[in-house]
Chain A
Amino acid sequence: MSVIYVLLAISVTVAVAFFAAFVLSVKSGQYDDTYTPSVRMLFEDEIVKDKDKSDQNNQKSNKNSTNQ
C-alpha cells in the first residue's frame, strides 16, 4: 500500500510545479498589465502593403460613408 506515498509525491510535485509556474509568471510581470494583452492578441499583421493600399482606402471610405 506504499503506493500512496508515490501518489502523494506525484500530486505534491505537480502542485508545486504549477505553483512555481505561477510565481515565475508574476515575477516576469504578466500580472502587471492585465488589459493590454487582451487587445494585442486580436491584432494580426495588419500592416497595409503599398500595392493594395489604394483599394484598402476605397473600402474604408465606403465603410465610412455608410457609418455617417
Chain B
Amino acid sequence: MADSTCYHCGDDCGNHGVRFDDKDFCCNGCKTVYEIFTSNGLATYYEIEAKAGTTPNEIRKKYDFLDNQEIVEQLVEFNEEGVQVISLSIPTIHCSSCIWVLENLNRLHPAITVSQVDFPQKTIRVTYKTEDFSLKALVLLLGSIGYEPYISLEEYNKKDKKVDRSLIYKLGVAGFAFGNVMLFSFPEYFEVQEFWLDQYKVVFRWLMFAFSLPVVFYAGQDYFISAYKGLRSKLLNIDVPIALGVLTLFLRSTIDIVFNLGSGFFDSLTGLVFFLLLGKFFQQRTYAYLSFERDYKSYFPIAITRLKSSGEEENVQIYNVEVGDRILIRSHEIIPVDAILIKGHAEIDYSFVTGESEAVFRESGEKLFAGGKQLGDVLEVEVLKSVSQSYLTQLWGNSIFSKDKVSHFQSLTDSIGKRFTITVLTIATLATVFWLIYLPSMALNVFTSVLIIACPCAIALAAPFTLGNMLRIFGKHKFYLKNANVIERLAKIDTAIFDKTGTLTTNQKDAIVYEGMELTEEETALLKTTLRASNHPLSRSLYDILKSNAIMTLDEFQEHTGKGIEGRAKQHSIKVGSAAYVGKEASPSMTSTAVYVSADEDVKGRFVFKNTYREGIGGIFGELGADMDLGVLSGDNDGERQLLQQILSEKTEMAFNQKPEDKLEYIKGLQRAHTVLMVGDGLNDAGALAQSDVGIAVSENINVFSPACDGILDATKMKLLPKFIKLSKSSVKVIKMSFLLSLCYNVVGLYFAVTGQLQPVIAAILMPLSSISIVVFTTVATNYLGKGLKNIEI
C-alpha cells in the first residue's frame, strides 16, 4: 500500500490512503468522486485516461451568494421560461476524460440538458432547467466531482463578450477571391493569340475585377486604416507602403482593363492580401485559457456575507459593502476590503499579494488588508475602507495600467518600413523622371510598376511568421507570451530585475530547521502521530520530514483552528502550534514562520520554516550577468542579503523593504537609461510588471492566477530564462536575414519595373514566390533554433 497511487487522481496515497472497491484512493474526496461516477454509469472516465481526476476541495458555504437572484441574473447568459444557460470557467479541465465526464453531466442530474466543453478556453457551457435545480446546485455538483468553477468579480463586470471573428472572415474572403482570380487569369498568362480567348477576355477581366472588390475594400481595410493612422501621427509604418501597393495595384489594374491595355494585376493583388492576412492569422493565435490582463478583480469574490445589526446574515455584492459594515469571512475566503478583526483567530495567507506563502496570524483588534485569504475558521470583521479605496486596489489607479506597451514600441518591421518607403518613393520618382524625358508614354506605367513590385509583402510576413513560430516554441517549453511583439521587446532587454519571494524562492519546498532541546524518540513518534491527524499545510510539511516509523494510537486528539493541535497517548501529551498556544513568548525579531512544540506542557523548541531558493538560480544569474545588469527587489527585510550576495553574483543590485509602488518607481527610474525586464510573481509586483518593458510572471501552476504581465513562465522552466532571451535575440536576427532575402527579390522585380517590362505574369510569379520562400525560411530557421532549447532540457 505504501507505493500505491490514487485510482482517481494519481497522487501518492502515502499512509493516509483509503481502500474502496479494490482500489486505492489518496483521500476520501477522491473516493467520493469515484463513487459518484461509478454509481451513475460514468466509470468510463477512468478508461479514457487513467488517473485523470482532481481531488475536490471542500466548498461548504462559499457559494451561498448564488442564492441571491440578482447576482445569478448577472452571471447567466440566458434566463427565460425556467431555462438558464451559463458559461463557467473551470481551471482544472486538463484531459479528454475531463471533456467526457463534463459533457455527460446530465447523467448526474436530470435537470441538466446540455453541457459543452471548450477545451482551449477551459470553460463549460451548461443549459439546465431551473425547476428543481439552480446555479448554486450546479456549482456544488461540479465542485463535488473535482471541477470547481472559478467565479470571480471579473466575471460579474464582464460585458457581453463578443468573439471577434473578423480576421477569419477576411482571410476567407481573400482566399476565396485569390483562388478564383487565379483561375480566371490563367488563360491570359500564356498570351496565346487564340480567337475564342480574345473574344471572351473582357468577361474574364471584369469577373476578376468583381472578385477583387471585396478584397480591397473589406479584407484589406485594416491596412488602409493603419496606414492612415500612421501618417496622421507622422509615422511611416510598414502598412504605408502596403496600402500604397494595394491601392496602386487596384487602380492600375482597373485602368488597364477599362482602356483595354492589359489584363491587370488582380491575381497579385488578391494573393498579396491573402498572404498578408495569413501572416496576421498565424501571429494571432495565442493561449485562450491564459489571461494576461488580470487585475485584483479576478481574485476577488463576487459577494460577501454581511451581518445586519439584528445579527442576520445576508449576501451582498462586494461593491455595495460600505465602511463600518460587519462582514463574515469564512474559511478559504478572500478578504475583499481593508478591515479590523473583531472576532475569531485570523490565519491569513497573503500569497496573492506578497508571494509569501506562509500564513500570518492576527488577533482581534488588528488590521487586515484586502487580498489575504483566511485559512482558519470564520472571522467577523469591520470594514475600514470600501473595495476601491483599499490598499491593494488603489495600486490599479496608477495610470501605468491603462498604457498599451505595444503602441509605444517601434517594431523592427516598422523601423524598416520607414526607410523602405522613402527608398521606394525615391526610386519610383527617379525612374518616372527618366522615362518622362526619354519616352513620356511609359512614365505612368513605370511609376505604378515600381510601387506594385516594391510592395513589401515579404518584409511584412517575415516578422509574423518568425515571431509567431517562436511564440509556439516557447509555449511548448511552458513560457507563454501575451503576443509576438513581446519577443522583439525581450531581445532589447539590457537590465533584468527579479522579485525575491516566490520568484527566486519557491513556495513548494520548505527547508525546516529545528531549534531547541532535542526531542526523544518517543516524543518524535508522538509528534508524528499527532501531525498525521491534522490537515494543516504546515503539519503536512512537518509530517513529511520527521523521521520516525513508530506510529502509535492516540488516546486523545484535539485541533484548535488557528492555534495548534494537541495529541495524547500513554500519559504523555504533545502540543504543536503557535507560540502563544504552546505557552511561549514569540520572539519579536522573527522573520520566518515557526511552529512551537511542547511535550507535557514543557516547551521544547521550535521548527522554523525557511524559504528555499529555486534550483539553478546562481546559474541563471551567472548566465544573464554576462550581458546585462541584474537586480533584486524584495518586499521583505534585508535579513537574507548576505545569503543572496553569496548565491548571486557580486554585481547584483539589491533593494529591500520595497512596497508595490516603490517597485514601480524603481523600475521607472531604471528605464531612463535602460530597457528593463521585470520578473515577479505576486500582485505586489503588478505595478512593476506593468511599468517594465517586459514583465514576466513566474507561476508554480499556470492555471492559478498571475498578475497582469506580458508573459507567464512556468516555475520549473525558470532556468531556461537566459535561453529564452537568447532565442529572442536570434529571432530578431532571423527577421533581419529575411529582410535581406526579400530585398533580393525586390531588386530583381525593380529591374523589370524600372525598365518598363513588368508583365502581370512576372508579378504573379514573383510575389507568391518571395512570400512563400520567406515563410519557409523563417519556419525552418526558428525550428532549428528551437531544437537547441530541447537539447538543453534533456
Residue contact B165 to A26, C-beta cutoff 8 Å: yes
Q: Is A4 in contact with chain B by the CB < 8 A criterion?
A: yes
Which residues of chain A come closer than 8 Å to B78, judged between CB atoms?
A: none
Query: How many residues of A sit at the interface, in one of the four size bands?
Result: 35 or more
Q: Is B196 in contact with chain A by the CB < 8 A criterion?
A: yes
Interface set, chain B 173-232, CB cutoff 8 A to A: 173, 176, 179-180, 183, 196, 199-200, 203, 207
What separation, in Å, do the CA atoms of A29 and B120 have in the docked complex? 14
Residue contact B44 to A31, C-beta cutoff 8 Å: no
Which residues of chain B come closer than 8 Å to A19, judged between CB atoms?
A: 172-173, 176
Q: Is B703 in contact with chain A by the CB < 8 A criterion?
A: no
What separation, in Å, do the CA atoms of A5 and B206 have in the docked complex? 13
- A15-B180, A26-B172, A60-B46 in contact; A35/B119 too (CB < 8 A)? yes
Q: Is B107 in contact with chain A by the CB < 8 A criterion?
A: yes
Bitwise interface map of B from 367 to 392 toward A, beta carbon under 8 Å scored 1, else 0 = 00000000000000000000000000
Residue contact A46 to B117, C-beta cutoff 8 Å: no
Bitwise interface map of B from 411 to 437 toward A, beta carbon under 8 Å scored 1, else 0 = 000000000000000000000000000
Query: Among the listed B21, B41, B165, B179, which residue makes an inter-chain contact with A47, where contact means beta carbons less than 8 Å apart?
Result: B41
What separation, in Å, do the CA atoms of A15 and B485 have in the docked complex? 37
Residue contact A50 to B41, C-beta cutoff 8 Å: yes
| One of B96-104, B272-280, B497-505 at the interface | B96-104
Which residues of chain B come closer than 8 Å to A50, judged between CB atoms?
A: 41
Residue contact A48 to B42, C-beta cutoff 8 Å: yes
Interface set, chain A 39-68, CB cutoff 8 A to B: 39-40, 42-43, 46-50, 53, 56-57, 60-61, 64, 67-68
Which residues of chain B come closer than 8 Å to A42, judged between CB atoms?
A: 96
Residue contact A36 to B120, C-beta cutoff 8 Å: yes
Query: How many residues of B sit at the interface, in one of the four size bands?
Result: 35 or more
Which residues of chain B come closer than 8 Å to A39, judged between CB atoms?
A: 96, 99, 119
- A32-B118, A33-B119, A33-B121 in contact; A23/B43 too (CB < 8 A)? no
Q: Is B169 in contact with chain A by the CB < 8 A criterion?
A: yes
Interface set, chain B 718-762, CB cutoff 8 A to A: none
- A8-B203, A23-B172 in contact; A47/B104 too (CB < 8 A)? yes
Q: Is B38 in contact with chain A by the CB < 8 A criterion?
A: yes
Query: Among the listed B5, B7, B43, B163, which residue makes an inter-chain contact with A32, where contact means beta carbons less than 8 Å apart?
Result: B163
Residue picked from A5, A46, A57, most chain B C-beta under 10 Å? A46
Which residues of chain A come closer than 8 Å to B42, judged between CB atoms?
A: 47-48
Which residues of chain A come closer than 8 Å to B44, judged between CB atoms?
A: 46-48
Which residues of chain A come closer than 8 Å to B116, judged between CB atoms?
A: 36
Which residues of chain B come closer than 8 Å to A47, judged between CB atoms?
A: 41-42, 44, 104, 107
Residue contact B99 to A36, C-beta cutoff 8 Å: yes
The 10 closest A-B pairs by CB, nearest first: A46-B44, A36-B119, A47-B41, A33-B118, A48-B41, A19-B176, A39-B96, A48-B43, A35-B119, A35-B120
- A residues contacting B by CB (< 8 A) are 1, 4-5, 8, 11-12, 15, 19, 22-23, 26-27, 29, 31-36, 39-40, 42-43, 46-50, 53, 56-57, 60-61, 64, 67-68
Known: A4-B196, A36-B116, A47-B107. 15 other contacts (CB 8 A): A4-B200, A4-B203, A19-B173, A23-B172, A31-B165, A32-B118, A32-B163, A34-B120, A36-B119, A43-B100, A48-B41, A53-B38, A57-B21, A64-B50, A67-B50
